[in-house]
Structure formats: structure tokens, C-alpha cells
Structure 1
Amino acid sequence: MRKIVVTGGAGFAGSHIVDEVCRHFSDAKVVVFDKMTYAGDVRNISHHLFPNRVQLLVGDVADLDMCRRVVKDADLVIHAAAESHVDNSFGNSLEFTRTNVLGTHALMEACRQEKVRKIVHVSTDEVYGQVMEGAASENEVLRPTNPYSSSKAAAEMILQGYLQSYHEPIVIIRANNLYGIRQFPEKIIPRFICHMLTGRKLTLHGNGTNRRHYLSAQDFAEAVVFVAEKGEVGEVYNIGTTEEYTNLQVAELISKAFDKPSREVITYIPDRPFNDGRYSVSWDKLMHMGWKPKNNLSDDIGMLVDWYRDNFARYPELFGELPASAAVEVEVAGLLPVQEVSNGLAKGLSS
């Protein structure tokens, strides 16, 4: 491939996709197209920017003219840009519709006009709604239950129109919850780790029994590239894992990593307006094609704690400074502080 575009590539999931794309397609030009909102961070991809491996273009995926310039001559577009935090969607649902629906529409129209050869759209397992028993296959009816998942389902309807009317070369993936380094600490795992680092309580919605599957971002990225190469146009592929935890179990896993009794650090708060009890997908289709996950959360939790301790300075507006006791642990471990790289640098790299 000559040119690959990753939208949202400076975010958490997107940056892992960029890592895998750069590794797998060593000769391709890689372009990251990102709005650089609060969840985008140039440091997520700086290891590719400074050797000139990746070009970063800053802009809005809902801007059709910008999308056309970005995807021109692209062989592959991986659309990972999205507003994704469910809690935020309850208070700012129109922004989710603008980015996730209008943004997807603008990007697909740009890809159609510029004749992009293949498009991988990153959706979510949440479009299936609650799956209290068993697992949802790719043929299940979509039953989204919150503004975030509704906007992702709506985006998929736009894609179906482009598949049927224009025969656009689109493949859709729906993945479990992701975990990994560089995840913005609004999601449960990095937030709880940062709370433990700063002596805060681990706050659980409701009674903490809501269940989720947790997929390594590295495994996810490998699956995205796998589908980009082997997925059939018009098909949907679930990307999943057997790693399932209640929110309470996640809190207990993290408190154990800090050698703290869970009863001393866990507290409960009122639930969301609606909170799906469980998500679960069947990923047999992808497994039969030759992909399966390699990592699991219970083995990776120590690595995640080390990364967030070492990179805590990224999030001063959320948690303040790292307490002296935690900072000593960093120094003793021989870990180096992250050098501040501003979003201004990213804007300077844009064109």
C-alpha cells in the first residue's frame, strides 16, 4: 500500500492502530487525521512523528473539504475517530451525533469522491445493546440504548447506504471494551489506577455488577489490520475476548495491584440514567479466519499501573500532581518523566 489514513490516530485506540499499521506496512505513507480534542495527544504518536514515519494533519472529520484533501490517493482509510465516553454522551449528545454520524458521513463521501480502495470503520459492541446471556453475532439487530451507542449505530446506517447505493469498499468492525497504555483516564481502568495513585476512592455506578469484556488495545489493533487485509467488503466483524469482569471485579483487581483491601477503597454512587448490564459478542467469524487475542487484563494490570505512574504528569487537570510517596516509587524504579509536548506542536505539523 502507498498511503494509509487513520482518523483519530492520536487518540487511545487510534494510536495503537497507528503502531500496528507502521509495523505491518513498513513502506506505506501513514497519515493521522485528528481533531486533537481532549482525548487526542501528540505524545501518543510522537515516536512515529519525529522519525518522519507518520504525518499528522489536524482537522475536523465533519469537514468534507478537509476530508477530501486527507484521503486523496489513499489506498486504505481506517476510521477510528469518534466521541466515545458514554457518561459524556448523556450531557453532550449533540456533539456525539455531529462527530460520529455527520463526521462518518463526510468521510465516506470524501472517500467516494476520491475513490479510496478500502475503508475499515471502527464501530462498537454497544450497538447491540444489552446482551445478558450468550453473545451477539454480526447478524443481530442493532438495539443501542444510550446516546453514544445510538450515534455509532446511526453511523452504520450511513455506511449501509453507501454500500448499497455506491458499492463503497467498506468493512465494519465492532469491538469489546479496550484497555491499554495511553487510554485517557475517563474510562474505568485508567481512572481507577490514577485514583489509587492519588489516594482517591474507586467509585462504582450502582452496585458494580455491570459486566464488560476487556480486549487489549494491542490485540484490537492487530485485528484491525487483519481485517483490512483479509476482510470482505460489506461484511461486519466482531472483535472480542473471553476476558469478562464486573465493574466491581475490575476495582478489586486494581486495588489488589496496589496491595490495598478493596473494602477500604471502593465506594458506590448513583447509576447512570441507563447502564447496560452486559455486552458480549461472538467473534467466531474472525477466529475461523485465523485471528485470536493474545493478551489478558489480569496479566497486564501491573504493566498498566507502571505506565500510568510513569506518565501521570500527562493529566494534571484531572488529578493534580502525583503525591510524594508515589513519586518516590517512580524514582526508585528508574523511570524517566515524560517530556511535555504541546498540542501546538501537532498544529505546527498540520497542513
Structure 2
Amino acid sequence: MDTALVIGGTRFIGRHLVEELLAHDYDVTIFNRGNYDNPFADDDRVTQVQGDRTNDSALEAAAADVNPDAVFDCVAYYPRDVRAATEIFADCDAYVSISSGDAYGREEIPKREDETPMRPCTTEQETDESGDTYGNRKAEGDRAVVAAAERGVNAMSVRPCIVYGPHDYTERLDFWLDRVLEYDRLIVPGDGTNIWHRAYVEDVASALRIVAERGDPGEFYNIGDRRLVTLQEMVELIADVADADVELVHAGPRELEAGGLLTDDYIFYRDYPHVLSTAKLAALDWESTPLEEAMARTLEEHLKSERDGSEHDPGREAEERVLDILDTL
């Protein structure tokens, strides 16, 4: 495959995907509304076509103009998006949609593509805009991928767990990066052993390309770091790459209550472990970046940015009250 159309392509996962495709000698076109700065505006290897992906006529025009070998759908938030795209790009060598590990409908360890059932999705949920139905909509989008493959379309999807890395506009990991850089005592909710599987963004990008090149139509592929770490281990890893001397203090629900806090106030905290099996993707010769290297790259870009993750901050003054109480125990 030589030509790629990336629906999205200027923000987080899409931005890294374009870089991945360029590194593997693809001619790349990005299709989006142009609402965000285009990091590839000065790169003559990348063409930008402006349009709304929910406008089928605009997508059809892009399909005709670009005639891509591979299509990567970074912004398929609704089942209708996948159904329309698999019709419009039915003749392409590969259509790959970004789904989510949230599409799984049962808590088990690990969640496997061919064993763990998907969430149901009602007609009302298909068009709902709230975060509560995100996983349901992604699951239904994956069912649309299966239906397209049954029609002969080379459609596949990838299911990342929570994604981190440079240029993450959600600022989820930025909260913990900033905490490690700013304070010498940090609260880790619970006993620090909870696990929420994460995926480094450059690995998500390489997985998208590999699935397009080697994946099987109608299949889903989980993406996540091949080596999992607990929440405490993640914070310790940040401290190691930042060369920061930080004391980590555990605080359970009773201790946090003193500051009016909950364990769920902390980003990346999850009571039940969320773990995805990545064996199916690894069988395509995909590999994940070593955690130390991934975190070092993430920290380097964080230091150049203005992001601090403050929207995820449970409140330092409240934390200080908790720490003061813990010091008296």
C-alpha cells in the first residue's frame, strides 16, 4: 500500500499516525474540518482536505480525489460513521477504525477479542452524545466492521485501552507528570496496586498501520503496553525518568474522606483492573515501546508544553489536609 487517507490526523492519535505512515513511505492525506492547527501544514508530503466526516458527500469526494489504498478512521464516534465509511471506502485495500477497550461488556482479566462479549447498544444509545454511552457506541461500530467484512470490505478495528504520550490534549497523564515535578510528597489513592491498562500513543499508531497491512477483515485488535504497571509503579516510573525525589503516600477511602476526596477523584484510578490481552496484535509482529523510553519521550514533550493536567486535579489543599492527618497516625 502506498497511499493513506487519515480521517482526523492533526491532534493526538491521528498526529502520531501520520508521522508513522510518513516514516513508512506512505503518501498521506488528512481529512478533517480544520478546526485545529495542522502540524503538517509545511510538510509537502501531507495533503489536507477540509470537510466534515459526518457529511457523506464530502467523504465521497475525498474518496474519489485521493483514491487511497488504506483509510484510517480516527474520529468514528458513532456507529453511523463506521457504516457510512465502510460503504464509501468499500474498494480500498484496508479500512481501519479506532474503537476502544470500553467496547467490552464484561469485567474479566484479561479482556480478549474473541472471548469477552461486547456491550449492547440500543437505538437511542447509537446517537447519544454523552460519555456514558461511549463504549456502547464503539461496540456497535465494531459490529458494523464485522458486517462490512461479511460484504467483502477489508474492514478492521483496533481497540486501545487508555492512551498516553506526547501531545495528549486530554492532559490525563500531564496531571501526574506535573505532580511529580511540583511536589515532593504525593498521594497515591488506595494501596497503589490498582491497574488501568494504558497504551503509548506511538504504539497505537504503529498498530494501526500494521493492522491495515497484515490484519484480517472483520477482526478487532487490542492495543496496550505489553508490560503493565500499577498506578504506583507508573508514578515511580515518572519520578525515575524525571530524576525526582518523591515520597509516595497511600491513602484509602477513609483517609481521603478527611479532605473530602474519593479514590475516583484521581485519574487512572480504577477499582477493578482493566487489562486487555495484546497477544492477537503481537502475532502480527507488533511490538510496544519499552516503558522507560515511552515515559521519557512523554515527559520531554510535557516540559515543552503548557499542559499541567489541572482539570484532573482533586485539589492540593484537600490533599494537604489528608497528608497532615496521615502524619499524626
Q: Establish whether TM, by shorter chain, passes 0.5.
A: yes
CA drift at 1:77: 0.3
Q: Report the AA paired with residue 279 of structure 1.
A: H
| Alpha carbons of structure 1 residues 301 and 239: separation in structure 2 relative to 1, 3 Å | closer
> What per-residue deviation string (whole Å, max 9, x for no partner) do you get for residues 6-25 of structure 1?
1121121111111111111x
Say if 1:179 and 1:215, in contact at 8 Å, map to a contact too: yes
SS in 1 for 2:157: strand
Q: Among 66, 75, 78, which residue is 2:72 paired with?
A: 78
**Which of the pair has more CA radius of gyration?**
2
Q: Distance in 2 between matches of 1:30 and 1:200?
A: 45
More helix by share: 1
SS in 2 for 1:244: coil
| Alpha carbons of structure 1 residues 201 and 29: separation in structure 2 relative to 1, 3 Å | farther
| Alpha carbons of structure 1 residues 214 and 270: separation in structure 2 relative to 1, 3 Å | closer
1:170 paired with 2:155, answer yes
| Alpha carbons of structure 1 residues 138 and 296: separation in structure 2 relative to 1, 3 Å | farther
| Alpha carbons of structure 1 residues 135 and 270: separation in structure 2 relative to 1, 3 Å | closer
- What are structure 1's unaligned runs of at least 5 residues? 83-98, 320-351
Aligned to 2:128: none
Q: Report the AA paired with residue 209 of structure 2.
A: V
Aligned to 1:328: none
Aligned to 2:272: 277
Aligned to 1:105: 83
1:126 paired with 2:102, answer yes
CA drift at 1:130: 5.1
Q: Distance in 1 between matches of 2:71 and 2:132?
A: 27
Q: Distance in 1 between matches of 2:188 and 2:133?
A: 21
Aligned to 2:7: 7
SS in 2 for 1:232: coil
Q: Which runs of 4+ in 1 moved over 6 A?
A: 198-208, 264-267, 314-319
Q: Distance in 2 between matches of 1:35 and 1:286?
A: 31
SS in 2 for 1:271: helix
Aligned to 2:325: none
Say if 1:196 and 1:255, in contact at 8 Å, map to a contact too: yes
Aligned to 2:31: 33
| Alpha carbons of structure 1 residues 156 and 310: separation in structure 2 relative to 1, 3 Å | same
Q: Report the AA paired with residue 85 of structure 2.
A: L
1:23 paired with 2:23, answer yes
Aligned to 1:311: 305
Q: Distance in 2 between matches of 1:203 and 1:226?
A: 39
TM-score normalised over the length of structure 1? 0.69
SS in 2 for 1:215: strand
SS in 1 for 2:47: strand
Q: Distance in 1 between matches of 2:277 and 2:72?
A: 22
Q: Report the AA paired with residue 82 of structure 2.
A: T
Aligned to 1:59: 51
RMSD (Å) for aligned C-alpha atoms: 3.5
| Alpha carbons of structure 1 residues 180 and 103: separation in structure 2 relative to 1, 3 Å | same
CA drift at 1:183: 1.2
